[in-house]
Structure 1
Amino acid sequence: MLKQIVNQAKNKKFTQLKYILAAIALTTPLYGACENSISDIIPIEQVVKDISYLASDELKGRANFSPERAQAAAYIAERFAEIGLAPMQTKQKQLTQKPHIALFLQHFNVHKIQPQHISVSLNHSAIGHENITMATTLAELSWQTEQAQSHVIGKDDDMRKVLQQLNQQGGQHVVLVNSAHRKTFQLYKNYFDAGLTKLAITQPGAIVLVLSDESQLSHYQVKAQAKISQQSLSNVVGILPGHDAQLANEVVLYSAHYDHLGTTADGRKIYNGADDNASGTTAILNLAQYFAQQGNNQRTLMFSAFSAEEIGGFGSRYFSQQLNPDNVVAMINIEMIGKVSKFGPGTVWMTGIERSNLAQLLNDALPENLANNGLAIQADPYPEQKLFYRSDNATLARLGVPAHSFSSTQLDKDPHYHQVSDDLSSINMSSMHQVIELLAIATQPLVDGSLTPSRIDKSKVRLQGKIY
């Protein structure tokens, strides 16, 4: 089945390919005049081919749990095999032939939790369903007064902060929310009523929210049920073992998520996710090809395409449990590089720049001819968006890894983010290609072992919630 999927991908006719390449031919490559040019190793034709397939209508938006998500995974696995990477569980020197692409798939299960019924009585009065919601990892709730902790969020309280604290605490909670927070309550209700996804249910708990101006809770009764089921997903992971005996146990991780949003509810329009994140997935494929052809990596390089980022980052969470994070020197997580950044074509910014010295070291290592052109790793220009926590780097950062996301998107003015218009026509292919080249040059000292960034202080990274 996997081989059939890959053959379909190889035989796919990309109607826009010729047009895109013709347009790129009219531009001047950013590094074309530099002695550090690597365009012959990272050919633009392969970059265009990869993103064109991953963002094609054939993959229908690469939704989690869809056949098309598996189809995308098979394409990535075949590329890893062709490049010469080894599956994560197999050392390259043990391979006598090209590994089967199924070996690159890292399977894991997630739990889908769907609320079925909930009723709440406060002080002997029934509450309307429109004023109740819950986040739960329990299949059944049957609470009487004092069987759960009770809380009141007053009109002047920070609702999000209170719920964040309860989520990190875990356990069982009934929360009265003052009607002054009605809009925020509705956002939580929409989110919770749609159901939750969890990688594992290790600490059962629940938070029941009730929109009410009651300030005293002398009596309550909660009855609820939820359906819990398991579904399978997979990451795609390949490695390029290090050549230095002492450095080979140190890992440089290049990653991107390959899942997206699928289609609209009626199935008529596709969220192709060209920028988010076919662009990042294309980057790790071509960086893998570049470093494999270089053949001089002293550290072990690992390339991971994560699934389930769009539904909570469960692919990276599972991945982080399959290796010793202390061995990961740095994580270069590539997220949305298909648009020109506010700093100019071919430039990128990095989330959490203050949390390690990675950006400083990468910039110090850049060749003078690039640095003079302003091609430095920039700080995240959108700190209010809290992007450090919104991609797969956060999971590894919580474990102390210098894990950061690299992006070029202008989030404050991008009309295509999570829209059906995020397709190939919105991508600046030349700038994206230049970003991939810049990352290859900037991270070379990580690869050859001459640069080791400081670790992230785990105590200063916000913990993951235990309930939602």
Structure 2
Amino acid sequence: MIKKINSNNKINRNFKLTALLTALTITSSFPSIAEIISKEQVISDITYLAGDDLKGRASFSTEIDQAANFLAQRFADIGLQPLKATTTTKNPALFLQKFTVNQIKSKTLSVTLNGQEINPDHLAIATTIEKLNWQQGNAKTHIVGANDDMRKTLTQLNQSGGQHLVIINSKHEKAFNAYQGYFNRGLTKLSLQHRGAIVMVLSDESELETYTVKASAEITEQSLTNVVAVLPGTERADEIVLYSSHYDHLGMTEDGKKIYNGADDDASGTTAILNLAQYYADKGSNKRTLMFSAFTAEEIGGFGSKYFSQQLDPDDVVAMINIEMIGKPSKFGAGTVWMTGMERSNLGALLNEKLVALDTQIYQDPYPEQGLFYRSDNATLARLGVPAHSFSSTQLDKDQHYHQTSDDISSLDLTSMHKVIESLATATQSLVDGTVTPTRIDKEQVRAQGKIY
């Protein structure tokens, strides 16, 4: 009996020793935070991007161009290549991916229903057509009753395109006013390929015998800029792992007195891609090609990612790691991150395999009711079949700084943010090495983009 007990103890000791050595060996393959990413550089990057001098990095502003030049210089200094180049370049201008969009501003709108002119306060329009002159039969007509789903109706019309007159019961006045405010600010379209219009009328009319609609809009072109850099793969250069963020934000308040610094949204994510680029460039062992893209115009419709997606073959993109608001601890703890659309591919499971040794994981989006999968640049690439997901730590249901002027450096937890960047570097190593390939997203299961707004 004594020998048996001693034998078991010896076996248990040997087992524990072996397990400990194995754990130490595994853990030793993951450098510390300081070895992966310089915290000083992280702080330097986000301090500049979220600083008052950039005045909130609004699309079409002088200051967003300053931000783009800063990002381009950082990529050049790191030693990356521009998207279209074949050799390393020190010319920052080559990292700037310039394109134009169409800004559409409604100028005039008048409507009569059954011979009665409608109060302009009860009208709204989204259009990609410069002039409308509708009479009976020129447009498809729709009645949204008191118990109908107004948002669903408008979404379906937007996705189908064409010309539509929509009569909306006054029970939906609050929602109507929200759409009206959105449309009145003007629309931006990357392309005018789909010409169409939706005219909304807040009215309790339930039978429509006659109508007239007259409207005009002004369409102008404006320039925008993505910043894109490439670290070519050593063995599988035709396979791309894309790290992305958006670097635009909301600019300033209407009175020009306060700044929407956008420290978390999304200077934090942009800082992450800069420092991940630095890390992988320093290692120089990536078998797949790594691409780092700072998108513009996410806040006004995701036009940067839309244009970018047309400049390469999406089938070449193995995965998209879109980093969005990582400046504060998540509900799962400091330094942890969650991802949108985890159920749409096995990317999350593959990334978590690398995080076991760090005793952490990437969590599933805890806010499914917010529809976050569609609210960032990943959605554009997901519609093309790319395993494209956003990675975030924000507690969106509690964040008092989201889209507020208080979203500045002082609201962030830079230690937690630094740890998130380290975790993403560790988690995505298998993608970089080419040892794993995530499943593609089913394009048919991703909601289509609107054609009109």
Q: Check the 8 A contact 1:91/1:241 in 2, yes or no.
A: no
Query: Residue 275 in 1 paired to residue 268 in 2?
Result: no
98-107 or 440-449: bigger deviation: 98-107
Determine the structure 1 residue equivalent to 2:280.
291
Who is 1:91 aligned against?
86
Shift of 1:99: 2.9
TM-score by length of 2: 0.93
Aligned to 1:137: 128
**In structure 1, what is the equivalent of residue 353 of structure 2?**
364
Q: Aligned ranges for residues 68-467 of structure 1 at < 5 Å? A: 68-92=63-87, 95=88, 98-244=89-235, 247-368=236-357, 370-371=358-359, 375-467=360-452
Shift of 1:79: 0.3
Q: Counterpart in 2 of 1:67?
A: 62
Q: Deviations over 1:12-44 (max 9, x none)?
A: xxxxxxxxxxxxxxxxxxxx9985324224110
Deviation at 1:193, TM superposition (A): 1.2
SS of residue paired to 2:237: coil
Distance (whole Å) between structure 2 residues aligned to residue 67 and residue 194 of structure 1: 20
Q: Helix, strand or coil: the match of 1:311?
A: coil
CA distance in 1, matches of 2:347, 2:86: 28
Q: Which residue of 1 aligns with 2:13?
A: none
Computing the radius of gyration from Cα coordinates, the structure with the larger value is: 2
After TM superposition, give the deviation of residue 365 of structure 1 in Å: 2.5
Using the alignment, how far apart are the partners of 1:35 and 1:347 within structure 2?
A: 17
Task: Give unpaired runs (5+ residues) of structure 2.
Answer: 1-26
Partners of 1:35 and 1:436 in 2: CA distance: 13
Match of 2:21 in 1: none
Instruction: Report the TM-score when normalising by structure 1.
Output: 0.90
1:312-337 Cα distance to aligned partner (Å, 9 max, x none): 00000000000000000000000000
Cα shift at 1:233:
0.5
Structure 2 CA distance for partners of 1:33 and 1:383, relative to 1, 3 Å: same
Q: Which moved more, 1:190-199 or 1:162-171?
A: 190-199
Residues 347 and 224 (structure 1 numbering): CA distance in 2 closer, same or farther, change over 3 Å?
same
What's the % identity of the aligned pairs?
Answer: 65
Alignment partners' CA distance in 2, 1:173 and 1:90: 46
Q: Is the 8 A contact 2:168 2:204 kept in 1?
A: yes
Q: CA–CA distance in 2 between the matches of 1:328 and 1:116?
A: 42
Q: Is the contact made by 2:168 and 2:202 (CA closer than 8 Å) also made in structure 1?
A: yes
Give me the whole-angstrom Cα distance separating, in 1, the residues matched to 2:246 and 2:30.
Answer: 32
Q: Distance in 1 between matches of 2:351 and 2:60?
A: 37
**Would you say the 8 A contact 2:339–2:362 is kept in 1?**
yes
Contact 2:36 2:422 in 1 (8 A): no
User: Unaligned regions of 5+ residues in structure 1, if any?
Assistant: 1-31
Deviating more after overlay: 432-441 vs 39-48: 39-48
Which residue number in structure 2 is paired with residue 37 of structure 1? 32
Deviation at 1:194, TM superposition (A): 1.2
Question: Structure 1, residues 40-77: CA drift from partner, whole Å, max 9, x if none?
Answer: 24110000000000000000000100010000000000
CA distance in 1 between partners of 2:29 and 2:57 (Å): 37
Q: Secondary structure at the match of 1:214?
A: coil
